[in-house]
Amino acid sequence: MSMTLTEKILAKASGRTHVDAGETVWVNVDILMTHDVCGPPTIGIFKREFGEDARVWDKNKVVIIPDHYIFTNDKYANRNIDILRAFAADQDLPHYYDVGTERYKGVCHVAMPEEGFTRPGDVLFGTDSHTCTAGAFGQFATGIGNTDAGFILGTGKLWVKVPETMKFIFEGEIPPYIMAKDLILQIIGDIGVDGATYRAMEFAGDGVMRMDMEGRMTLTNMVIEGGGKNGVIEPDEVTFDYVRQRTDYDFTPLYNDPNPKYHSVRRYKSADLQPMVAKPHSPDNKATVTEVRGTRLTRAYIGSCTGGKITDFEAAAKIIKGHQVGVETYVVPATTLVREQLKTTYFDGETLWNIFEQAGAHMGEASCAACLGGPSDTFGRLQSEEICISTTNRNFPGRMGSKKAQVYLASPYTVAASAITGKITDPREYLPVEQDISAGGTP
């Protein structure tokens, strides 16, 4: 019987020729990723269960990327980095990206592809719910807790229930004022924050396959906001080019069989899409920008694993160039590489960095920063009754630091246009005629 891409990866990882949705299987893990919030308790569980002197199952398959609470004076948060550092040294882990060194990266879900760990056909588990981002590469990738991660550290295995797949097809070219974030906010609004619970979400159609890898990552990043277990996109030449430029690892891409059994298939006409927001306090509280146009704001935030990639800043800069921001605006590159790219990527003769700085934005260091609130001294954190528009992925009560704050989620285009006016603004009012952006080029 035909299998979906997700079923095929799990069949391969469990040493079976066939699996059905709903079955529970034990899979071999290709990569385990953890960070500074969940790494220390994972290490604690590993040592408790396997012994103080136990070795990890395969040091080449463990990736530790501190990213959550980095630029803070919180003593407990800083202690967590010390625990990671000591463990990496003790276990002689080659893939540890230490804070305060040139190896420091920032947000794990963007650093993982940069470092070549997102490989088609493989299985990735991570102690972070947005691990699902890597599904953009045709990998099975999902978030787990500390106990499961501690179990993997010792055994290299984990049980999973094979999910059914919901397929989302976007037909036709995406309009120039629409970004991947608009697509996923539309979907989550349609299915609800538990609409895909226990299921895989697959994205397909020429509207999706014409996207670059970063656009695709924006889609798969937010499947967890629909309750999904993993997001997935069939790999193609765009995927292979990206991965092969970053690793020599010999991956085996997998694809859907012809006519596999789906839980459901939804089709969207790309031309009908509108710029979207998620209103407070839930990612499925959808509205078109037109419906909430003019809503007063006190802050704008561009950053995170879903909205802090270089293409997100290219989009925002296109709109902000030549303007001053009308509200406090925070720019937080996901990784140190993205931060560097801000200084080497030009739009209309100016670096992205200068465009944001000259517009009056606050420029941050690479990390998760205020996306999830964090310690009270976190850059950009909402401390009280702010009304923020943000390119991040969650707007539950208190998510960005204060229960009194309100957060609207939107695309980098919409956030940039709204930053200028201080009100929710349709990006079409500010989008210039299409111009080329060239990374590393001369002005």
Partner 1 sequence: MNKTIKGKAFVVGNDIDTDQIIPAEHLVYSLDDPEERRFYGRYSLSGVPEKESGLPHGGIPFTAPDKFRSEFKVIIGGKNFGCGSSREHAPFSIQEAGAEAVVATGYARIFYRNAVDGGFIIPYESHDDLVENISTGDEVEIDGELNIIKNLTTGKSYPLKKLGDVIEIVEAGGIFKYAAKHGMI
For residues 91 and 402, which CB has a smaller minimum distance to partner 1 in the complex?
A: 402
- The Cα diameter of the chain in Å comes to 62
347: how many CB neighbours lie within 10 A of its CB?
A: 23
Which run of H or E residues covers position 424?
none
Q: Does 155 interact with partner 1 (rule: CB under 8 A)?
A: yes
* 141: DSSP letter: E
The answer to whether 147 contacts partner 1 (rule: CB under 8 A) is: yes
- Does the footprint of partner 1 cover residue 396 (CB under 8 A)? yes
Query: 34: which strand partners?
Result: 64
The interface region with partner 1, picked from 11-19, 110-118, 332-340, 367-375 by CB under 8 A, is 367-375
**Residues 303-342 vs partner 1: string with x where CB under 8 A?**
----------------------------------------
Which one of residues 401, 412, 422, 427 is an interface residue with partner 1 (CB under 8 A)?
401
Q: Are 26 and 10 in contact (CB under 8 A)?
A: no
Binding residue (CB under 8 A) for partner 1 from 128, 182, 314, 386:
128
Instruction: Pick the binder of partner 1 from 2, 24, 252, 290 (CB under 8 A).
Output: 24
State yes or no: residue 384 binds partner 1 (CB under 8 A): no
Which of 28, 57, 59, 74 forms a contact with partner 1 (CB under 8 A)? Answer: 74
Is residue 104 within 8 A of residue 65, CB to CB? The reply is no
Residue 18 binding partner 1, by CB under 8 A:
no
d(CA 16, CA 168): 27
CB of 349 to partner 1, least distance (A): 40
Determine, following the binding rule CB under 8 A, whether residue 197 of this chain makes contact with partner 1.
yes
Instruction: Using CB under 8 A, count the residues that bind partner 1.
Output: 52
Q: How far apart are CA 418 and CA 399, in angstroms?
A: 21
Please, where are the H alpha helices in 97-144? 108-114
Rule CB under 8 A: is residue 144 a binding residue for partner 1? Answer: yes
121 bridge partner residues: none
Question: Is 198 one of the binding residues for partner 1 (CB under 8 A)?
Answer: yes
Residue 191 vs residues 196, 264, 398: alpha-carbon distances, Å: 7, 12, 23
Q: Is 131 in the site for partner 1 (CB under 8 A)?
A: yes
> What residues contact residue 333 under an 8 Å CB cut-off, 6+ apart?
106, 303, 308, 310, 313, 339, 341, 342, 364, 365, 366
Report d(CA 409, CA 283) in Å as an integer.
Answer: 7
39 binds partner 1 (CB under 8 A): no
Interaction between residue 405 and partner 1 (CB under 8 A)? no
Strand order of the β-sheet with 264-269 is 230-232, 200-204, 165-171, 264-269
- Residues in contact with partner 1 by CB under 8 A are 24, 37-38, 40-41, 44, 48-50, 68-69, 74, 76-77, 79-80, 126-129, 131, 143-148, 151, 154-155, 159, 161, 193-194, 197-198, 224, 227, 229, 282, 372-376, 394, 396-399, 401, 403
